[in-house]
Amino acid sequence: MILVTGGAGFIGANFVIDWLTEGNEPVVNLDKLTYAGNLENLRPLQGDARHVFVQGDIGDRAVVDALLQQYRPRAIINFAAESHVDRSIHGPAEFIQTNVVGTFQLLEAVRAHWSQLPADEQAAFRFLHVSTDEVYGSLGAADPAFSEATPYAPNSPYSASKAASDHLVRAYHHTYGLPVLTTNCSNNYGPLQFPEKLIPLVIHNALAGRPLPIYGDGSNVRDWLYVGDHCSAIRRVLEAGRVGETYNIGGCNEKTNLEVVNALCAMLDERHPESPVMPHASLIAFVKDRPGHDRRYAIDARKIERELGWVPSETFESGIRKTVAWYLDNQDWVAHVTSGEYRNWVSRNYADHPA
Ligand code: NAD
Ligand code: DAU
């Protein structure tokens, strides 16, 4: 079986559901259930004996030691993290705690477990660390896309904490021989994404007739990847990635934020012509920029294509269409996650971003 951490969050839950759809290997899912973790995301797996959910912290040695001993997973996929850049600007401590200290504690538990396995199990074991393209910093308009050889230059407390965790993972391979793999992926979107992130936030606000806040002038660029494609890339890296290597994953879909928001609004106009706020783009509101806002991300994904034959299967247009349809069909899910803590967050964050 495999152990997934952070499997009640956006990408982790998509990964666990896809994993158990594609095959039969059981999953132990360790998640702390922070504001971003949601058992409702795992509803399709209710009653499925192949999925064991455990609420706990990756930094809790006793919990992780016990899970490793009991289940003897052949692989660990580490999704668990604090993941939102704006939250890291408001309060970096939690990011250091989970992304740096938590990953360190997890690596220590895994090292202790792995080092006493028989040689054949040691050789087959994998620790796959899920990271981000943000560790590479920010690109100018004419710069080449991030490759695996691009030097790290993180700019936010979030990306600095992810960079630190990547370095620890690398060091555990170099020093102790732990069989690690690291993936650095671009911006994901799709079902189950918490509506603090740009795409679900815009869909949610547009449906409610609220302003669509665009930081700065909306010309910052991100490289968008449908979450199902990220999950298939991780499965492929786990299956055939070379130990100790890093793989960049991206969608070849560079868009400005304004292009993304306009595409979402056009799709909502088409799906929701009876809306009182037609056209939805009339809700766009330019607000004060994010401090230290990275200008452009772009991924050079040639290594994963060349070595592992992976390419994304969704275009931006097909992925966005599926995503808008999912949010329209799952407004209960949105209503559940946008209560309580979410409302406090919105008033904290957007008070800092006046129009
Ligand atoms: P998310 O915030 O939606 O989910 C994170 C999950 O981790 C939640 O379920 C949360 O409860 C859990 N978690 C947090 N702290 C924990 C802890 N100490 N112990 C156990 N569980 C804990 O994040 P996401 O967008 O699904 O991102 C998942 C991973 O992928 C992160 O490592 C992130 O850095 C990386 N990543 C995200 C993107 C993206 O666009 N969202 C892109 C590239 C890489
Ligand atoms: O690149 C990968 C990263 O993508 C992941 O590592 C992070 O976990 C994930 O959150 C994401 O980071 P971003 O900061 O790029 O994503 P976010 O959705 O927060 O913002 C996308 C762009 O939209 C960014 O340029 C900021 C802008 N934005 C965001 C929000 C929330 C706005 O203009 N308005 C907003 O209200």
Q: For 226-235, how does the pLDDT look when each residue is reduced to its tens digit (9 = 90+)?
A: 999 999 999 9
Q: What span, in angstroms and rounded, lies between the C-alpha atoms of 98 and 84?
A: 13
Q: Is 215 a catalytic residue?
A: no
Q: How far, rounded to the nearest angstrom, does the alpha carbon of residue 247 sit from its chain's CA centroid?
A: 15
**Cis preceding-peptide flag for 200 (omega within 30 of 0):** no
Residues with CB under 6 A from ligand 2: 83-85, 132-134, 186-187, 197-198, 201, 213-215, 220, 222, 257, 290, 297
For residue 6, report the distance from its CA to the centre of ligand 1, in Å: 6
φ and ψ of 322, to 5 deg: -65, -40
**Mean pLDDT score, 37-42:** 95
Point out the ligand 2 atom lying closest to the alpha carbon of residue 185: 2
Among residues 134, 13, 25, the alpha carbon closest in space to that of 74 is found at 25
User: Minimum-distance ligand to the CA of 212?
Assistant: 2
Q: For 195-235, how does the pLDDT look when each residue is reduced to its tens digit (9 = 90+)?
A: 999 999 999 999 999 999 999 999 999 999 999 999 999 99
- 14 Cβ inside 6 Å of ligand 1: no
Q: What span, in angstroms and rounded, lies between the C-alpha atoms of 196 and 204?
A: 10
Q: What span, in angstroms and rounded, lies between the C-alpha atoms of 94 and 208?
A: 31
Confidence of residue 304 (pLDDT cuts 50, 70, 90): very high
**Mean pLDDT score, 63-85:** 98
Question: Domains of the chain: which residue ranges?
Answer: 2-191+225-253+296-314
Q: Is the pLDDT of residue 310 over 90?
A: yes
Point out the ligand 1 atom lying closest to the alpha carbon of residue 35: 11
Q: Is 40 a catalytic residue?
A: no
Mean pLDDT (the chain, rounded): 97
User: pTM of the entire structure?
Assistant: 0.98
Q: Is 2-191+225-253+296-314 a domain of CATH 3.30.465.10?
A: no
Query: Which of 158, 185, 187, 205 to mutate for ligand 2's pocket (most ligand atoms within 8 Å of CB)?
Result: 187
- Those residues whose C-beta lies under 8 Å from the C-beta of residue 50, and which sit 6 or more positions away, are 20, 24, 25, 26, 27
Q: Is the pLDDT of residue 355 over 90?
A: no
